[in-house]
Amino acid sequence: MIRRTIREWERIAYGSGDTEIAETQADRIAAVARASTFSGRGGEGVLEHGRKGLRARGVVGVIAIPGCQLEILPKIEGGGESGVSDAVLRQRLIHMLAVTYDLPIEAGGMTQLGWQRETVLELLIRLFCAKLTDAVRQGMPRHYLEHEDDLPALRGRLDVTRQFSKLAVSPQKLACRFDALSPNIALNQVMRATVSKLSRLSGAPDNQRSLRELSFVYADIAEVPPNALRWDRIVLDRTNRRWRDLLSLARLFLSDRHQQTSAGTIDGHALLFEMNVLFEAYIARTLSRALAGTGFRVSSQGGHRDCLYEGETGRFRTRPDLIVRQGEKIVLIIDTKWKRMTPRIDDPKQGVSQADVYQLMAYGQLYDCPTVMLLYPHHGDLPPDPVRQKYSIAVKGAVETLIVATQDLGGTLRENRNTLRQLVMAFVATDSGLETDNRHYVGLQNAPSDDRPLNFHPAATGAGR
């Protein structure tokens, strides 16, 4: 199995070297990428298929064809970091996936997964196999299911209608309806479908061995296509609670809703994640937990207010990434941007897009919210401390403010929760009449307010990537 790893917006050349990929394999990988829902109209939303190589874009994950896997990792760096290894980036990506999709990845067990030698796909498959093996050793869940059978002796209750119609000429048999304890339930069908899917995806020998063993365990379970699985029939209670984490992993592998794509007639598969969507979802989940008990609540992709009205008909509906409310009052709107801010020494505007600023100003007006925020990921080219820049909108000293900030994703989940909580509370607590703990927020509350305009010219297009 040939494995190649690149990072978003990087290029891999054609060739036979350790850092190159054969052109025939690249063609097949590009075909799988074009089948993705992220490919866009031009078919290059995942990979740019050039004459000399493939170039990754803002989608990460793994594209697999027989004999070859191409892994695309995001550039997740902490403050002051440089030269971050692939293993660290892989670990941080899986951490974001774990938080966003409720995956059962404990901090203590993450170091045992083999970050250096495996792709994200193989790591997730190994995690699933280990969890499922442990679960089936404790016993496969079973439920009573209703059965119908023609037996020589009565079992359960008699089906009178079938007895005197279909069995009218066979009085030696009785039409029985009875309940029997069976493992052929929706939960086990989901697990079998996942094992079958992963058996075609995995290229690691230990994963293939584990999947073969699990296939034997689930041999008597009905094989149901992924699109016909009855997720609605799965009920988790105290008897099968240990399967909750496995269901989260199974959804990740099986459901299109979780951004997992298949190439259809093309012999290959992909597990892909759009980083701007993943970053938004990660911030939403982390911030929601961070603000628990503060009186503030977070909603994602809400609002849905129209910009314009034609008579009674609204036009141009808006969906801010994150809305922070106190009661029914909107106190902060956050727009997350998976773009790399530039140091101020290179660009006074730090790569902030004029269109993004206009969008946030429109949100503030439309939702009657005086404070809006652009939130970017922090990275190693910026100073170690996160960016916390406050601008007055339209006039100097205005109540309406736009905040440009970065979030360092290199820390632990607890550290990320604390920094997000401090960031939000520093800018909304005063307006809401709340007293903040100066020990935690003094650094942010005393952050200087920059009343200098960003000096966007109407013809400017500056966009940071």
**pLDDT tens-digit profile of 361-409?**
999 999 999 999 999 999 888 888 888 989 888 888 888 899 999 999 9
160 & 34 share domain: no
198 & 92 share domain: yes
Q: Is residue 281 part of a domain?
A: no
Average pLDDT over residues 448-458: 52
Q: Is residue 156 part of a domain?
A: yes
121 & 206 share domain: yes
User: Domain count of the chain?
Assistant: 3
93 & 120 share domain: yes
Q: Is residue 425 part of a domain?
A: yes
Q: pLDDT: is 1 or 243 the higher one?
A: 243
Average pLDDT over residues 12-25: 91
Q: Residue 166 pLDDT > 50, yes or no?
A: yes
**pLDDT tens-digit profile of 69-126?**
899 999 998 877 778 888 889 889 988 988 888 887 764 455 555 556 678 888 888 8
167 & 203 share domain: no
24 & 81 share domain: yes
98 & 41 share domain: yes
90 & 149 share domain: no
Q: Is residue 455 part of a domain?
A: no
Average pLDDT over residues 296-322: 84
Looking at residue 462, its pLDDT comes to 39
SS3 assignment for the chain: CEEEEEECCCEEEECCCCCCECHHHHHHHHHHHHCCCCCCCCCCCCEEECCCEEEECCEEEEEEECCEEEEEECCCCCCCCCCCCHHHHHHHHHHHHHHHHCCCCCCCCHHHCCCCCCCHHHHHHHHHHHHHHHHHHCCCCCEEEEEEEEECCCCCEECHHHHCCCCCCCCCCEEEEEEEEECCCHHHHHHHHHHHHHHHHCCCHHHHHHHHHHHHHCCCCCCCCHHHCCHHHCCCCCCCHHHHHHHHHHHHHHCHHHCEEECCCCCCEEEEEEHHHHHHHHHHHHHHHHCCCCCEEEEECCCCCEEEEECCEEEEECCCCEEEEECCEEEEEEEECCCCCCCCCCCCCCCCCHHHHHHHHHHHHHCCCCEEEEEEECCCCCCCCCCEEEEECCCCCCCCEEEEEEECCCCCHHHHHHHHHHHHHHHHCCCCCCCCCHHHHHHHHCCCEECCCCCCCCCCCCCCC
312 & 208 share domain: no
309 & 406 share domain: yes
Q: Which of 243, 275, 307 finishes a domain? A: 275
**pLDDT tens-digit profile of 193-216?**
999 989 888 888 889 999 999 999
Looking at residue 55, its pLDDT comes to 94
**pLDDT tens-digit profile of 128-142?**
898 899 889 988 888
Q: Is residue 285 part of a domain?
A: no
Mean of the per-residue pLDDT values for the chain?
82
358 & 444 share domain: yes
Q: Is residue 36 part of a domain?
A: yes
Which domain covers residue 148, as residue numbers? 143-182
pTM, whole model, 2 decimals? 0.79
252 & 305 share domain: no
Q: Is residue 70 part of a domain?
A: yes
Q: Is residue 262 part of a domain?
A: yes
